[in-house]
Chains A and B, each alone.
Chain A
């Protein structure tokens, strides 16, 4: 036991801790340059539209890792999983970036409350709205939107803190009761989580096209979030191991399993994305196809077609073999790939609503994205430097350390 939990191998390396502030600065600079490029580099009439859409895209991108992480933690407890005990703390740390990431939503909330309809077209006087949107103002209005957003953020923070606090308390006390408690509440919390993610996706992303609706949209965001989360987990753990942390506690078997999840969620995302497309394609009703029509015009069509190989075919073929999933470089490659694919997917959900695409838009959007991602990692480092990277007194830790995949 002592060999497995000695301080140096379960603490964030000193070299990493110091980078937190630097990354925050880098992120802020990225945001500023990206924002400036939008404001002065693009068509003046659309410049601020581009900026807010890009900002929202990247905010959702960063939030989605936390969304995936909290689900992973809850499902771990729900299934009384043993294998994932040794990687659970890293997931908990990703989840606990949510309270910080949520700060980044404040500008959007303020924008909505100030009556701007640049992002959400429903945020106008009812007289100016038409068709279905006008009928939806009972739900889609600034104050109710703000209230719901506060509830989503509040619930997410509460959930992540609830799990994080119990898990870290166990590091000290080693109490098995805490594990039982977390198990007991994981079921109800997952139900709340399912509703929360669905409505969050409806309100924050889908209502940009206030006329359009898709009941599967929440699941779509969830599928993408899980895909992105496992990619980030693999990347973080690989990087941590390269710095000599968790090298004996996380092994090929754990990476193999995360690789399986990454593979599975490639498939799941495609299944959901296609389910949504098929119904609208088949029905071919103008008000339903409009969402896809916007994504087939203004130069965005290429992005949509790109997602098919980038988010599905290539990672599917790449990860189908167990040899790749057990190979350090192979898995890292596809994890990084998945981070990019997930970013493209989030871009596809939001950015086409802003206006036609151009090189400047792509570069500026990328800069904002990198900036936001750097801020997310900075938040993660800030969280991770305070606790151990391993749930050292988890009752199932031994099981996790001894875990092996059955040989096929």
Chain B
């Protein structure tokens, strides 16, 4: 082993050693020295090829994994893409390629250098400690087949090293102390305990409630309906509606603008078998005195009264309805009204969907808002956004969804109604509004996603569409009718 104080002396010596034919050599330096590989005659490593292969393995693994998982084992449509979508596979493939390559580079470097090497005889000489500081060392192994101690000494001396010394073989025992084995074994065994516990838990039955390591939202400090509480004097967790307040949506129950029909003009069908439906409305119509005495607390009835201001028309009709409905209405009113009040905000919900289909209501026939070109433009936009996917741009029921369903021919598809069907054309606008709001057949209600003004705009646009398919010559303005009648007449 020769010691040098700069890398140029080391490189010179290394070239000489290489020129003399020694191959079992090594150099130790505090920093990477450019050109030391050539000087010592170190062969290029095969690591790049290993890494390339590992990278390709990573690529293949990623592709096989994704194709298997997404297209074969559990075919699942994501964002409407095909099962085998190459663009979606590329990021994962890229990452796995990089991951495999990086790990192989690191572990391969360690393995090819035969690391970790726990003990090396070069450390026996304290001079060698300065190899991580400012000294450079060149080492020729005595196991080299041309090794001749005197010749190597002369050769190294020729490059004027700072020091020249023999590396003593480390005489201490090279076997690992037994306590290390015991400690390692204990640690490995101990590390299995959590896995064993999990395994045991998953494969045994128990009557005890499960452990909650993480509580998540399993236990929440909240009260549910019908539970007791000590917070309020009456002990009810469920709170009645506060006197003089109006819950969200409650006003909508009486205004044709929100309903599409006039709730104060119940028709014969309404009286036949729909007390439940009628109740919230009738509540308001009835005399508050009767109401409070028979069923609910005053706090229950007053908001209801506020929501449905009594009109002359209901005054006239309700007395006729009341006797028939009263026996059923009295008990029914409380459950029908109270939960909705307690839920606060969902008050409008129980009423509308409960209505059976085909009921004849007092559909309104006049738009409850000013009609202008702006409204029809809004209607066109909203129709094309929400309705045209099924009903088609022109309303004939040939939307993209319907066409795709026809292609698939699965048998259970109910085609969307053509809006130019005479039955639909004959419907009053209120009924169309009602259908948009609450849905019909397979069509879902859109009340929650389109606000009422926009729903009316859609109704207006549907009317325009219907007129467009069923136009008369008189509809055309006078100055243009001549031009229009030309081609059609001819």
What is A's interface to B at a CB cutoff of 8 Å? 274, 277-278, 281-282, 284, 320, 322, 404, 406-408
Residues from chain A with a CB closer than 8 A to the CB of B471 are none
B87 touches A282 (CB 8 A): yes
Residue contacts A-B, CB under 8 angstroms, 25 given: A274-B87, A274-B90, A277-B87, A278-B87, A278-B88, A278-B90, A278-B91, A281-B87, A282-B79, A282-B87, A282-B88, A284-B79, A320-B52, A322-B48, A404-B34, A404-B35, A406-B32, A406-B34, A406-B37, A407-B37, A407-B38, A408-B44, A408-B45, A408-B47, A408-B48
CB of B45 to closest CB in A, whole Å: 6
**Chain B residue at minimum C-beta to C-beta distance from A403:** B34
A-B residue pair count with CB separations less than 8 angstroms: 30
Bound Cα distance from A277 to B37, whole angstroms: 44
Q: Inside 8 A of A274's CB, which chain B residues have their CB?
A: 87, 90
Which B residues touch A282, using CB under 8 A? 79, 81, 87-88
Interface 0/1 of B64-90, CB less than 8 Å to A: 000000000000000111000001101
| Complex Cα spacing A147 to B38, Å | 57
Q: A281 to B79: give the CA distance in the assembly, Å.
A: 10
Contact: B87 with A407, CB < 8 Å? Answer: no
Interface residue ranges, B against A (CB under 8 Å): 32, 34-35, 37-38, 42, 44-45, 47-48, 52, 79-81, 87-88, 90-91
- 7 nearest A-B pairs in the assembled complex, by CB-CB distance: A407-B37, A281-B87, A278-B87, A404-B35, A404-B34, A408-B44, A408-B45
| Residues of A with C-beta under 8 A to B81 | 282
A contact residues around B37 at 8 Å (CB): 406-407
Is the Cβ of A284 less than 8 Å from the Cβ of B35? no
Besides A274-B87, A281-B87, A320-B52, 6 other A-B contacts (C-beta < 8 A):
A278-B87, A278-B90, A282-B87, A404-B35, A404-B38, A407-B42
Q: Which residue of A lies closest to B48 (CB)?
A: A408
B11 to chain A, nearest CB (A): 11
CB-CB under 8 A from A408, the residues of chain B are 44-45, 47-48
Q: Which residue of A lies closest to B33 (CB)?
A: A406
Give complex CA distance A406, B32 in Å.
Answer: 9
Set of chain B residues within 8 Å of A277, measured between Cβ atoms: 87
Chain B nearest CB, measured from A377 CB (Å): 36
Q: In chain A, what residue has the closest Cβ to B47?
A: A408
The docked-state distance in angstroms from the alpha carbon of A277 to that of B86 is: 12
Most B-side CB within 10 Å, residue of A284, A320, A407: A407
Closest to B45 in A: A408
- Distance in angstroms from B63 CB to nearest chain A CB is 15
CB distance from A269 to the nearest CB of B (A): 14
Cβ–Cβ < 8 Å partners of B80 in chain A: 284
| Interfacial chain B residues near A322, Cβ < 8 Å | 48
Shortest Cβ gap from B460 to chain A (Å) = 25
Q: Which residues of A have CB within 8 Å of B47?
A: 408
Nearest CB on B from A291, distance (A): 15
Nearest CB on B from A50, distance (A) = 31
Give A308 Cβ to nearest chain B Cβ, in Å: 11
The complex places the Cα of A281 from the Cα of B48 at a distance, in Å, of 35
CB distance from A407 to the nearest CB of B (A): 4
Q: Which single residue of chain A is at the shortest CB-CB distance from B38?
A: A407
What's the Cα separation between A278 and B89 when bound, in Å? 10
- Chain B residues near A406 (CB-CB < 8 A): 32, 34, 37
Distance in Å: Cβ of A258 to nearest Cβ of chain B: 19
- Alpha-carbon distance between A300 and B35 when the two chains are bound, in angstroms: 50
User: How many angstroms between the C-alpha atoms of A278 and B88 in the bound complex?
Assistant: 7
- Complex CA distance for A267 and B48, rounded to whole angstroms: 17
- Expressed in whole angstroms, the Cα–Cα distance for A278 and B92 within the complex equals 12
* Bound-state Cα–Cα, A274 to B45, Å: 33
Task: Provide the residues of chain A in CB contact with B91, threshold 8 Å.
Answer: 278
- List of B residues within 8 angstroms of A407 by Cβ: 37-38, 42, 44
Chain B residues with CB below 8 A from A320, complex form: 52
State how many angstroms separate the Cβ of A267 from the closest Cβ of chain B. Answer: 10
Bound complex: CA A76 to CA B414 (Å): 69
A289 CB, min distance to chain B CBs, angstroms: 12
Q: How far is the CA of A322 from the CA of B81 in the complex (A)?
A: 40
Looking at the assembled complex, report how far the CB atom of A70 sits from the nearest CB atom of chain B, in whole angstroms. 29
Q: Which single residue of chain A is at the shortest CB-CB distance from B78?
A: A282
Min CB distance A257 to B, Å, is 13
Q: How far does the Cβ of B110 sit from chain A's closest Cβ, in whole Å? A: 16
A284 surroundings in chain B (CB, below 8 A): 79-80
Residues of A within 8 A of B45 (CB): 408
How many Å lie between the Cα of A323 and that of B32 in the bound state? 23
Chain A residues with CB below 8 A from B38, complex form: 404, 407
The interface residues of chain A lying within 8 Å CB-to-CB of B90 are 274, 278
Neighbouring A residues of B79 by C-beta, 8 Å? 282, 284
**For A404, what are the chain B residues with a Cβ–Cβ distance below 8 Å?**
34-35, 38
Question: Can you name the residue of chain A whose Cβ is closest to the Cβ of B90?
Answer: A274
The CA of A277 and the CA of B91, in the complex, are separated in Å by 12
How far apart are B327's CB and chain A's nearest CB, in angstroms? 59
A405 to B, closest residue via Cβ = B34
Chain B residue with the shortest CB-CB distance to A277: B87
Closest residue of chain B to A282 (Cβ to Cβ) is B79
Looking at the assembled complex, report how far the CB atom of B414 sits from the nearest CB atom of chain A, in whole angstroms. Answer: 27
CB distance from A336 to the nearest CB of B (A): 25
Bound: A181/B242 CA distance, A: 77
The interface residues of chain A lying within 8 Å CB-to-CB of B35 are 404
Residue of A nearest to B79 (CB): A282
**Bound CA span A274–B32, Å:** 37
Residues of A within 8 A of B52 (CB): 320
Cβ of A204 to closest chain B Cβ, rounded Å: 28
Query: CA A281 – CA B87 in complex, angstroms?
Result: 8
Complex Cα distance A312/B167, Å?
53
Name the distance in Å between A144's Cβ and chain B's nearest Cβ: 32
Q: How far is the CA of A408 from the CA of B49 in the complex (A)?
A: 11
- How far does the Cβ of A385 sit from chain B's closest Cβ, in whole Å? 36
CB of B247, distance to nearest CB on chain A (Å): 39
CB nearest neighbor in A for B35: A404
Distance A406 CA – B45 CA, assembled complex (angstroms): 12
- Distance, CA A64 to CA B45, complexed state (A): 38
